[in-house]
Amino acid sequence: MLRVGRGQLSTRTYVTSKSFTIGLIPGDGIGKEVIPVGRKVLEKIGPKYGVDFKYIDLQAGWQTFLDTGKALPDDTVEQLRNNCQGALFGAVQSPTTKVQGYSSPIVALRKALGLYANIRPVKSVDGTGDRPVDLVIARENTEDLYIKSERTYIDKETGGRVAEAIKRISEHATRNIANIALEIALQRLKEKGHATLTVTHKSNVLSQSDGLFREICKSVYQSNKKFANVQYNEQIVDSMVYRLFKEPQCFDVIVAPNLYGDILSDGAAALVGSLGVVPSVNVGPNIVIGEPCHGSAPDIVGQGIANPIATIRSAALLLEFLGLPEAARHIEKVVDENIRENKIKTPDLGGNSTGEQVANDILSRI
């Protein structure tokens, strides 16, 4: 659990009252099944901590594109930008081949709202049967190959097609993600008495782009004495993958460019049983968006077995970054109780319960 105070990990200016407007974006697939659970959790936890939540239902995703011609409607962006302090985003089902006019709405949303950091805690709980894991991946969220600057052309010598993509790493974005990663490490240092930051890169090959990422992360660490007791490490991404699966207990806070962070965080979910239990938040200067990591999972849509825990934990992270750590810890506590008892669990964790049964069990504990 990240224990952060109001505004500590973001440049956002928080409202002083305990009233928040939350955008709800189910998206596609099982997003439509789990985001309503996230709302129920907020509705139940709010009165216990004197917090008033209001909700705005918003649209985005592949089905929205099919219906309207836009995967991310302008109204969704404007509502989030002007009226919401937080949001819960479900999942989108993107086509695997190019579709004219379609672009990933979550990637576009991260750019439009300046959601510069994707924070993914990965932690095992007694009862999962896995090795002890307690780490946080801080993934830069706005650039790298995800700027989607691509072109395809015909090679004059071979006559064959060539596809190229631009990888962008900027000093500004890298400073942002390095700062938030180090702030998280500092919080964990206060809680546990020790903390490490591992900068992941491939600068032995990509000397300019990943070299800049590595350089800026190190300079942010060295430029502020308050980080002096955080142990600083570096790891080349291919050996990082190997070590993450072989000895995950060696890692605490991992900071990475967008693509590496995406791959590492999804892979790390295997260490704790399922993508269905791993949460994330997209953090920007004016809004925080909770997002479960499991994707749209079209193979299980409508079967009632989607695991709601990733969404519930994402709601807890959302509260954490909105400056409501007590409410966030309350949610985490009851989720851990459910997992630890190892009785009511969905098939992805080896059980035979429905998603509704898991949700009801956790809601009853709140």
- Rounded Cα distance between 222 and 70, Å, is 44
**Residue 266 CB coordination number (10 Å):** 16
Identify the burial level of 190 via C-beta atoms within 10 angstroms of its C-beta, where 0-12 means exposed, 13-18 middle and 19 or more buried.
Answer: exposed
3-state SS class at 162? strand
pLDDT band at 105, cuts 50/70/90? very high
Contact 282, 251 (CB under 8 A): no
| Triad 310, 261, 87: Cα angle to 5° | 40
User: What domains can you pick out in the chain, each with its CATH number?
Assistant: 17-118+278-365 (3.40.718.10), 134-271 (3.40.718.10)
DSSP 110-156: HHHTT--EEEEEEE--TTS-SPP-EEEEEEE-S-BGGG--EEEEE-T
- Rounded Cα distance between 2 and 191, Å, is 10
pLDDT tens-digit readout, 13-50: 444 458 999 999 999 999 999 999 999 999 999 999 99
Identify the burial level of 214 via C-beta atoms within 10 angstroms of its C-beta, where 0-12 means exposed, 13-18 middle and 19 or more buried.
Answer: buried
Question: What whole-number percentage of the chain has pLDDT above 70?
Answer: 94
pLDDT tens-digit readout, 68-98: 999 999 999 999 999 999 999 999 988 878 8
pLDDT tens-digit readout, 217-232: 999 999 999 999 999 9
Residue of 324, 309, 360, 356 whose CA lies nearest to 46: 324
Contact 85, 15 (CB under 8 A): yes
Identify the burial level of 34 via C-beta atoms within 10 angstroms of its C-beta, where 0-12 means exposed, 13-18 middle and 19 or more buried.
Answer: buried
